[in-house]
Amino acid sequence: MKIASIDPGFNTGVAIAILHDKESIKLEKYLLGTFTNEPDAVVKLVLTSRSTICLMERKPRNAANSKTVPNEKIKAALGNLKIVEIGPGLWKPFMHSRPAKLEPWAPETQHEKDAMAILFYFLQTQNPKRKVKYV
């Protein structure tokens, strides 16, 4: 099963993982990248990956509408794919208290790190008694 995670904005971070669900949840790298002002490319990557769910950072309450255009465009273009929006007020404090080891995927930008963190947050909160790790 593949899961996509998006940190949307002018620079959009994308992390797509192959989920290995056994004793622990292992996330194998399928794709990791940052895309500058390319929401159509992001949508194409997510759809062609055949991800079963797409996690996306919800816009902060204080964000200007002009900064949220990529969110809405990406959500609309993903069609029937299940989208779970996660507010930064949820995943950021969680990640500060329980940092994930992102090194196996070698993220190069903060946007990539954020997309990976959103993915880790979602899986760890859905499976609190199990270990989630990047491989």
Residues 6+ apart with CB under 8 A from 52: 1, 2, 3, 82
- The domain that contains 119 carries what CATH number? 3.30.420.10
Do the beta carbons of residue 120 and residue 131 sit within 8 Å? no
The DSSP letter of residue 96 is H
Count: domains in the chain: 1
Closest of 27, 44, 26 to residue 35, by C-alpha: 44
The pLDDT value recorded for residue 69 is: 60
CA–CA separation, 120 and 67 (whole Å): 25
DSSP state of 98: S
Tell me what pLDDT residue 134 has.
97
Report how far residue 109's alpha carbon sits from residue 132's, in angstroms, rounded to the nearest whole number: 22
CA distance 32 to 22: 23
pLDDT digits (tens, 9 = 90+) for 42-62: 999 999 999 999 999 998 777
Q: How many residues does the chain have?
A: 135
Sequence-ordered alpha helix ranges (H) in the chain: 39-49, 69-77, 88-97, 110-126
Q: In which domain, by residue range, is 49 found?
A: 2-134
Global confidence as pTM = 0.93
pLDDT in tens, 4-19: 999 998 899 999 999 9
pLDDT at 70 over 80: no
Predicted pLDDT at 106: 96
Mean pLDDT of 89-95: 95
